[in-house]
Amino acid sequence: MKVGFIGLGTMGGSMAYNCLQGGNELIVHDLRRESATPHLEAGAVWADTPREVAQAAEVVFTSLPGPVEVEAVALGEEGMLEGLSAGKVYFDLSTNSPTVIRRIHQLYAEQGVNMLDAPVSGGPSGARTGNLAIWVGGDRELFDRYKPVLDSIGDKAYYVGPIGCGAVAKLVHNCSGYIIQCALAETFTMGVKAGVEPLALWQAVRRGAQGRRGTFEGLAEHLLPGNFDPPDFALQLARKDVDLAVGVGREFNVPMRLANMALAELTEAINRGWGQRDSRVAMLLQEERAGVEVRVAEETLRQALEEERG
């Protein structure tokens, strides 16, 4: 398949190379031509502009820093829209704004061109090895048709839903990770300042309930099915634990901003009369504020988990 690839940076360079190694013909473009050296040496063809890439390829991928760069390449002068003809397909691998993606998708659709959002996760090492998640939003039939190309880039291409859904999934994933990162910095500084050696602390918590499972596993046990009774661990006990941790931070003059926010959340849930319910019941407060329920039928959830486990 003739594949165009625009953006040969830390992630894009490796993804494009793997695409070429997967048996596809590759046309490449980047602001820095030297970034394309390994691709050209391996048989790729250079194009001077995004428009030329779009003219030459059947399907085009972009891997760019963000919305501004994607808009410039997708819609700007000498951009892809000037070169893409009806029926061609464009995948944006960048971490992008869902609103920007949907606007570009609409403009492309008016020209008969198909767009899908397909942000990736796995970091530079994943891009090199192909151990990469690709979250795709857009037309399901097109996802299925071009999955062999996606599979040459990453080993976990997954269809999320309509246009923009891939970008939303990526932002949920990344934002969750950075919030957790900030929380860990807070609690570990408290633990070390309270007298625990850092390596011993790290090794200890990895053996606990949270350390032994993935970040999102607990969602399948409580929030997604809406199952908070009987409790695995009661809310009133969870509040007591967070209160104790905040107290240690106060004793050792460690700022505990996120812990205090969590304490306030758990306290509000206690005041709703939920103290004997599972501690995750406090998540219902955010559902109320957001005006949305995050629910999956237990049977559907069970089937999804069984499919993932093979």
Active site residues: 170
Joined together, the tokens standing for residue 112 give 């008969």
CA 63, CA 39: separation in Å to the nearest integer? 15
Single out the residue of 88, 154, 84 nearest to residue 118, CA to CA: 154
